[in-house]
Structures are given as C-alpha cells and as structure tokens.
Amino acid sequence: MSGDHTGTDAAIAAQVRHVEALLEERGLVDPKELDRAMEAFLAKANPDNGARLVARAWLDPAFHHRLLTDASTALTEIGLSMGGGLQEQRLKVVANTPTTHNVIVCTLCSCYPVALLGPSPTWYKSEAYRSRVVRDPRSVLAEFDFHLPPTTTITVWDANAETRFMVIPQRPKNTDNLDEHALANLVTRNGLIGVAPL
C-alpha cells in the first residue's frame, strides 16, 4: 500500500537503509555514487524495454524460443539486461497462447523486473493484488476489465529474490504488416504483467 510504513516491505526497506548507513559510515560506499547509480538505472528502466522484447519475439521465432528457454541471455541480444547490478537475478519469460494465460505476482513483497517493465504500479505492490491473484486470478483480471473464456487455463507465476517473470502476450491478429517498432507500441506494461491482453 502506498504510504504504508509497517509490514514486511517497510521492515526490509529499514534494513536496507541501515546497511547503507553502515557502509557509508565505514567509507565503503559513497552516498552520491549510490544516488547516481540508482538514477542511471531508473532512467533506463522502462516498459518500452519489455515491449521491444515482445515485438522481437513476435517477429523472430528463433529469438522467441531463446527468450523462453534462457531469457537472461536473450536480453543481451538487443542490448538489454536486468540492470542495476542485479545480474544474479534470473528472468523467466512465459508466453500466452490461445488456451493458456499467464499472470505475474510477488506474494511475499513486490519483486518485479524493473529494468524491463519500469517502476512497478502501486496495485502490483498492494496486499490485495498479491493475495487475491493467486486464489482467484479470473476475478482479479475481470477487475482490470479483462475477461478470459472459461476454457482458458490461467497460470500465476510467483516472483522472488532470484527470479523475475515477464509475460509475452499473444500477438494480435491482422498485424502481419507491422514492423518491430509498431508492434512494440501495441504492448503495455499491464500486458507484460498479464492483467491485460496486450
């Protein structure tokens, strides 16, 4: 919840601030350098990055396969990475099909591929989304005005400190004439999370 200073997220944030303070106090970290690194990371963190991945996957079946089997490596093919010194994090990409739909969540806190999707939306971090999407994903998607057929299987992927997830939405019909840039413009952050068709 926005502005909530209690609970797990607040406790973790307090621990991080404490460790930063200790490192600064011992002269191991320059606070200005930390700020510059964070600003540089966030400047590049944008949902356009994830949309570029999706558009390339729609156009290139071999890249699509590599993205599904080893996303962290495939990222580098188009000049992207998980960024921010987070190379130990693994990216797992899952693809929607006519019969299956994927949604991502982090039930413990709000782990999320910031470098590829930009800063996470407030609702993604909310306890309501984190708990309900696992139990009743179809109802949560309906709240986003996204209604799937009853025959569609919904899989919810739970991110954690080691693994982040991203969804490849289904390519819309009648887009064969579009280039990579135009296709990327169709993809939204919500589609990359799985709470929208695109």
Annotation says 110 is catalytic: yes
Closest CA to 160 of 109, 125, 122, 102: 109
Q: Which entry of 2, 72, 81, 111 is annotated as an active-site residue? A: 111
Q: Which entry of 2, 72, 81, 106 is annotated as an active-site residue? A: 106
Q: Which entry of 81, 109, 120, 126 is annotated as an active-site residue? A: 109
Annotation says 106 is catalytic: yes
Number of H helices, E strands in the chain: 11, 4
- On whether the CB atoms of residues 106 and 130 are closer than 8 A, the answer is yes
Structure tokens belonging to residue 101: 């739909």
CA separation for the pair 162, 45 (Å, rounded): 19
Position 138, amino acid:
R
Closest CA to 143 of 155, 131, 157, 129: 129
Annotation says 109 is catalytic: yes
Task: Output the DSSP codes for 125-179.
Answer: HSHHHHHHHHH-HHHHHHHTT----TTSEEEEEE--SSEEEEEEPPPPTT-TT--
CA separation for the pair 2, 9 (Å, rounded): 11
Residues annotated as catalytic (active site), given as ranges: 106, 109-111
